[in-house]
Amino acid sequence: MSERPAPVLRAEGLVKTHHGEGAPARAVRGVDLCVERGEFVAITGPSGAGKSTLLHLLGGLQRPDGGSLWLDGECTDAYSEARWAIERRKRIGIVFQFFNLVSNLSVADNVELPALLAGVSPRQARAEREGLLAELGLAGKERSMPGELSGGEQQRVALARALVNRPPLLLADEPAGSLDSKGTREVMRLLSRFHRRGQSIVLVTHDARLASAADRVISFFDGRIADDATLDGTPARGAGISGVLELRD
């Protein structure tokens, strides 16, 4: 009997209230969530439900007011900002709706940068970058600047950048939200492909059709999980999806 690996992500009682102008926004109101290795989880719900806030908490981009979060079984509650930055380099890749590429760096440099920051040798960073860009259909675009690419291409570069350090977990917030239908299909097809190779993914989307690419769909409403089900309809209690596979096969 082998020990079951710790979930890539576990959250308990996460709470986050935003204090801006006007009344405080209770964006996340007590979320318990467990994502097993290799799972593809979609979090869907209407605009303003708190999905982005939840994803920011999961990636350490915002800190919760209450609750706890574990990465690979390790509690993150005492992590400093610097520690979180390291975790985002090694264990968590993140893609956003608006790509967030460095506009004055080439495609190649955008993808290699996180690898170099993680201490990978320039040679290795280059090899990883070449492999990923070829895989994502971007061979030949290495020297382009982000502004010269289509939205779909830019999002694929962002995906390459998020995956270059082979993080066990990919967080994606409306990654097709600014793309046309072709770009949307491309991005969803690539997420599915990485998932089939064992990549754990948490995808936030307001679009229920995109959520159906995942094998588990969480409905988020008013800062809370309203429903959590695998696609065959059974409740997703730790849904035993295995696949401790390498990202690259």
Ligand X SMILES: Nc1ncnc2c1ncn2[C@@H]1O[C@H](COP(=O)(O)OP(=O)(O)O)[C@@H](O)[C@H]1O
* Residue in 11, 34, 61 with CA at minimum distance from that of residue 200: 34
Identify whether the C-beta of residue 210 lies closer than 8 Å to the C-beta of residue 219. no
What are the angstrom distances between the C-alpha of 148 and each of 94, 107, 144, 154?
22, 10, 6, 9
Using CB under 5 A, which of 7, 33, 45, 52 touches Mg ion?
Answer: 52
What count of other Cβ atoms lies within 10 Å of the Cβ of residue 195?
A: 21
What's phi and psi for 151, nearest 5 deg? Answer: -55, -45
The yes or no reply on residue 156 touching ligand X (CB under 6 A) is no
The yes or no reply on residue 226 touching ligand X (CB under 6 A) is no
Can you tell me the distance from the alpha carbon of 137 to that of 153, in angstroms, rounded to the nearest whole number?
Answer: 9
The yes or no reply on residue 195 touching ligand X (CB under 6 A) is no
The yes or no reply on residue 14 touching ligand X (CB under 6 A) is no
Residue with tokens 């799972």: 39
Give the sheet arrangement for strand 74-75, strand by strand.
25-35, 9-18, 66-71, 74-75
Give every CB contact of residue 118 below 8 A, 6+ residues apart in sequence: 89, 90, 165
Given the complex with ligand X, which of 49 and 170 has the nearer CB atom? Answer: 49
Given the complex with ligand X, which of 2 and 47 has the nearer CB atom? Answer: 47
The yes or no reply on residue 59 touching ligand X (CB under 6 A) is no
Concatenate the DSSP letters of all residues of 62-105 into one string.
Answer: S--SEEEEEETTEE-TT--HHHHHHHHHHTEEEE-TT----TTS
Q: Which does 53 bind (CB under 5 to 8 A by kind): Mg ion, ligand X, none?
A: ligand X
Given the complex with Mg ion, which of 31 and 149 has the nearer CB atom? Answer: 31
Here's the x/- map for Mg ion, 6-45, by CB under 5 A: it reads as ----------------------------------------
Helix/strand/coil for 26: strand
The size of the interface with ligand X (CB under 6 A), counted in residues, is: 12
The yes or no reply on residue 175 touching ligand X (CB under 6 A) is no
Here's the x/- map for Mg ion, 103-142, by CB under 5 A: it reads as ----------------------------------------
Contact positions with ligand X (CB under 6 A) in 27-56: 27, 45, 47-53
Q: Which residues bind ligand X (CB under 6 A)?
A: 18, 20, 25, 27, 45, 47-53
Q: Which residues bind Mg ion (CB under 5 A)?
A: 52
